[in-house]
Structure 1
């Protein structure tokens, strides 16, 4: 399979990957380095310099100030997310709900990513096509919820999707060519998924190749897209 390319962005586009040391984040970094259309890939994580911690807004603000020297950005991929937090997996029943765990799930999966948008969106180019791609999850769909369970993760991803949609509407006023996408990457082999599916999952590189093709084809509509790795829309 030929290396995917984001052909609808300007030649030499500048990309940022947040959560760059995770399974999908590192696959994004590798795929973007392989894209001959991409001019620069910036990778941020808790291990990078500067370091970025979703639970610490000051670190996000520091990274945003550092990005002033790298701007403008044409693609931001937010590959952050957590399903198991402090060794505790998703709740299957109401009687397993814990308020501290719920708040942590919301902070990591919704509040942190929203703060990334607050601080990093101003670093994106204007007057041309740009893309904000955020890994979401099908379980964040309220309409598609048929099995129940996974209370905190579902709620956090639903909140994330609402925040993305709201930010997309506002961002379009200054950046009408901006694409905002909530992406369902499929079940990918990673530390996040291994306790639930073992190794019977998609390779992260395959997922990223598919997602690159999906976001390259998405139109700028002034609203966010919620799509899976095959390009199929997911109900909000």
Structure 2
């Protein structure tokens, strides 16, 4: 992965990667460790420890700090925010999400709907991210430009929905989009230098998408490295005035 064009920075940057034990989250950790030409302090959260993330932390003890976090537990989010003290965060990238619940595939029909499954979709995909926005506002409210980015999904676009199905996943991502659009409007008043954006990463070759890759054309199935590079190309150009935008992996703007 080649270096991208980074704006000049005259002070160290602080990055928070939420969901760093997943494919894309781990890819972002690697990117900030290996590709960024200025000093970066990374706080990376995980729900279940993985060997690769532990190894990176041991190799980079001054640059990478691991934090256990379940974003469905608000008390844990609040505790993480308190752990950072008065640290100013320049990039917060939330990569947490679920595509299906345990052994239940995404619902193709009304007859497959289960309230408990819907509640889990919303807890992880919708409520957790906006609670991050609630508790990390003090860290993103500073004079330097900052970014609060959350992985969403094109299937969460109501305007783009022509196929139906995947009730819980679609609905939870649509709810995420509205919650973060609201957040962007409020942040514009109280943290005007922070851009709140949503990102559709495309289909990435991770354990999350593996059960659903059969009909994906090879050229539309991205490696983690390519997905991160494509999303970073967007993040590097985002300005505060772009806050409240829903971007696809290629930089185009998706309909709500």
**Same fold flag (TM > 0.5):** yes
Moved more, 76-85 or 117-126: 117-126
Offset at residue 206 of structure 1 (A): 0.6
2:166 maps to which residue?
150
In the alignment, the residues of structure 2 paired with residue 194 and residue 9 of structure 1 have an alpha-carbon distance, to the nearest angstrom, of 38
| 1:133 aligned onto 2:134 | no
Tell me what 1:13 maps to.
13
Equivalent residue number for residue 72 of structure 2: 55
Query: What TM-score does the superposition give when structure 2 sets the normalisation length?
Result: 0.86
Q: CA RMSD in A?
A: 1.8
- Per the TM alignment, residue 232 of structure 1 is displaced from its structure 2 partner at its CA by 0.5
Bigger drift between 136-145 and 108-117 goes to 108-117
1:218 maps to which residue?
238
Which deviates further from its counterpart, 73-82 or 55-64? 55-64
Q: 1:184 maps to what in 2?
A: 200
Contact 1:5/1:36, CA 8 A, preserved across alignment = no
Partner secondary structure for residue 190 of structure 2: coil
Aligned positions, number? 235
Given that 1:133 and 1:183 are in contact with CA atoms closer than 8 Å, whether structure 2 keeps it comes out as yes
Conserved? CA contact 2:32–2:40, under 8 Å: no
Who is 1:40 aligned against?
41
Partner of 2:177: 161
The worse-fitting range, judged by mean Cα deviation, of 91-100 and 31-40 is 31-40
Whether 1:205 and 2:225 are equivalent positions in the alignment is yes
Give the Å deviation of 1:121: 2.1
Change (3 A) 1:136 1:6: farther
TM-score (norm 1): 0.93
Q: In the alignment, is residue 124 of structure 1 matched against residue 140 of structure 2?
A: yes
Structure scoring higher RCO (CA < 8 A, sep ≥ 6) equals: 1
- Structure 1 stretches (4+) deviating beyond 3 angstroms? 8-11, 47-50
Residue in structure 2 matching 1:104, options 110, 115, 120: 120
